[in-house]
Amino acid sequence: MGFTSRYKFKVVLPLLFAGLFIFGSLTTSSIAAEGRVGFVNIQQAVSTTKEWKSSFSKFKLEFTKEKNKIKIREKKITKMLKDLNKQGFVLDPELKRKKEEQVRKAKVDFERYVQDQNAEFGKREKEMTQKILIKMMAVIKKIGKEKKYTMILEQKVVLYHDKGNDLTKAATRAYDRANK
């Protein structure tokens, strides 16, 4: 390296670092000055809407009715099993085998029915939640634009935030107003 190239290196490098530092400071301070970050507990926002409460109330009523039907079927199978155990000693072996098969089949059918109902109710709850969640996301975006937030984050993924930036209740109120 010659004298001129060393000189350029010694002068240009510090100027480059100074420029990056100033640019970095301006960028960071402008984001800090202009950026607004809000937080939403999306699960709480959705589950406290009037639509969710109404839908969930109906869902819960149907679930309770189905649970009662299941209990009745379970009692019938339990009674069949008790009757078989009582009569088992005096029944003809062929008749006993047929009754055991009936009980086994009823039990298998019952277990399948319960699994199917659980899957069906799980699916319905998911669909109900998804429908409201999609509308809630639109409401949150609208709040973000209207109040000039740089971003709105899910509260559960943030370790700390100022409670003043929590938009959960505002999102629920805005949702309820928009979906009367």
What per-residue confidence (pLDDT) applies to 13? 38
Mean pLDDT, 10 residues at a time, the chain of 180 residues: 43 38 41 74 95 95 96 95 84 87 94 96 95 96 94 88 88 92
Domain boundaries, the chain: 1-34, 35-178
Range 144-149 contact pairs with CB under 8 angstroms and sequence separation of 24 or more:
144/38, 147/36, 147/38, 148/36, 149/36, 149/37, 149/38
- Record the pTM: 0.67
What per-residue confidence (pLDDT) applies to 34? 63
Is the domain covering 35-178 a CATH 3.30.910.20 domain? yes
What per-residue confidence (pLDDT) applies to 99? 87
**Which residues face 154 on adjacent strands?**
40
What per-residue confidence (pLDDT) applies to 7? 41
